[in-house]
Every structure is written in structure tokens, then in C-alpha cells.
């Protein structure tokens, strides 16, 4: 029997060094990506979201 198992081997620990070493373009791309993620989440939730969903 085979199972698909996610493993964390080789995933770096985020310490903030990557952010500090990133160029302005990389930082902007990351922030725009996060903003897009929030827009998609809000659009997906639509009118089904409730104020009680966030505590």
C-alpha cells in the first residue's frame, strides 16, 4: 500500500533574513501576491461570510 505523505524535509525556517536580503522588486511582488490572495478569499467568501467567522 502506498500513501502520499507531505514531508517538511528541506524546507527552510523563515527568520526574516530572506525578506531583508530580497530586492525591492521581490518584496513588492510578494506584497502584491498577498493582496491578491486576500481579494480572491474575499470574493470567494462573498455573502456567505459571517462576522463570527473571525474571532
**4 domain-assigned:** no
Give mean pLDDT, residues 25-41. Answer: 94
9 in a domain, yes or no? no
Alpha carbon distance 53, 41 (integer Å)? 13
Domain-embedded: residue 40: yes
Q: From the centroid of its chain, how far is CA 14?
A: 13
Q: 53: closest CA among 37, 36, 45?
A: 45
* Domain of residue 25, residue span: 19-45
Q: Would you state the pLDDT for residue 29?
A: 96
Query: How many domains is the chain partitioned into structurally?
Result: 1
**Alpha carbon 49 to chain centroid distance?**
20
Q: What is the pLDDT of residue 43?
A: 87
Range 5-14 burial, b when 16+ CB lie within 10 A, else e: eeeeeeeeee
Tally of CA atoms within 13 A in the half-sphere of 46 that contains its CB: 3
pLDDT band of 10, cuts 50, 70, 90 = confident
Note the pTM of the prediction, 2 decimals: 0.58
Residues 15-34: what's their mean pLDDT? 94
Amino acid at each position: 500500500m502506498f500513501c502520499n505523505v507531505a514531508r517538511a524535509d528541506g524546507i527552510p525556517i523563515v527568520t526574516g533574513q530572506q525578506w531583508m536580503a530580497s530586492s525591492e522588486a521581490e518584496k513588492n511582488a510578494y506584497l502584491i501576491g498577498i493582496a491578491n490572495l486576500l481579494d480572491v478569499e474575499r470574493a470567494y467568501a462573498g455573502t456567505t461570510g459571517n462576522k463570527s467567522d473571525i474571532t
